[in-house]
Amino acid sequence: MAYAFDSKQVDALAVLPEVVQAAEAGSRLIGLWPLTDAMQMDNDAKYGENLQVRMSQTLAQVMTGEEVTIPDAEFVYEGADQIPGRPQTIVDALLAANDACDGLSGFAQDGDFERVRVAAERLNAGWSEDEVHAGAEVVQTALASLCPGQELEASADPQVIASRLSGSMLAAGDLIRAVGASADRPVKALPVLLFANELNERLEIPRSYISAGQLSELLGLSSPQALARAAGPLVRAEWDSHREDLLWDPDEAKRQAKEEDERKSREALKAKFAHVPEDPNKPPVEL
């Protein structure tokens, strides 16, 4: 039976409270675009690098079944091909993960499924020939429905974002099923994580992040509604965090940290001398 992308299902997912709340977070983030402030642009570039580091950690952790740390992922992202004292299997998995991320990065522009297939090879996802064909049908059909020909424009309208996010979630869920990914076979889903972020960019909504533990939980869900309800809060948290990263001001952070240190010092000083009786004739001293 030929695959059909269910646009009515998109509409149903878009009104779920968890998706609506994620869309509101997306609206707050997209409302900052286009970025013109140099500090925000620099913060956004750092966010993008950090997101790939975190995604590569997730991919490598699922690929190896070993504990992969953020420092591991950072070292490899910065060019290391060995890490003293760490298993080479982890390093090799991180190298493959970064290759997959880089290789799939053009999908948002050209929608070429071949990029997804190559990413699956690099991640040792184990897609069979039939699963590759099924996956290609899902991706091509979903793209034709979600972005038929014309380039989409970014929108801060929560309803538009909810619809686009729902479409991305539904396409990702359908692709997961098409390639036989499951909680028992999570490695099959790894290319889908990268595909979903590229699809988000093609739909002019922000990228997101899924940890290895979160992926395991999501793969245990069987319906699009359950997946959207579980993924919505994860997307909302990531988009809120992305916005906070964009607005982060190092000078303001230093000022607030200094004020907090001074406050703690005053409280510690008061506590230290709390047992000393005050001289009623002594003029008040401001700490």
How confident is residue 59, by pLDDT bands cut at 50, 70 and 90? very high
How confident is residue 2, by pLDDT bands cut at 50, 70 and 90? confident
pLDDT at 285 over 60: no
pLDDT at 53 over 70: yes
Average pLDDT, stretch 82-106? 96
Cα pseudo-dihedral 232, 234, 237, 238, rounded to 10: -110
Element (H, E) at 62: helix 38-64
| Domain layout of the chain by residue ranges | 7-272
The pLDDT of residue 171 is: 97
Distance (Å, whole) CA 204 – CA 198? 10
Q: How far apart are the first and last CA of the chain?
A: 77
**What are the angstrom distances between the C-alpha of 228 and each of 9, 26, 166, 172, 196?**
11, 15, 7, 11, 13
Q: Give the pLDDT confidence of 192-244 residue by residue, as tens digits.
A: 999 999 999 999 999 999 999 999 999 999 899 999 999 999 999 999 999 99
Taking a C-beta distance cutoff of 8 angstroms, is the pair 23, 176 a contact? Answer: no
Most confidently modeled of 146-150, 168-172, 274-278? 168-172
Fold category of 7-272 in CATH: Fic-like fold (1.10.3290)
How confident is residue 148, by pLDDT bands cut at 50, 70 and 90? confident
The pLDDT of residue 271 is: 74
Average pLDDT, stretch 166-170? 98
> pTM of the predicted model, to two decimals?
0.87
Least confident stretch, 91-105, 117-131, 159-173, 270-284: 270-284
Q: Average per-residue pLDDT in the chain?
A: 92
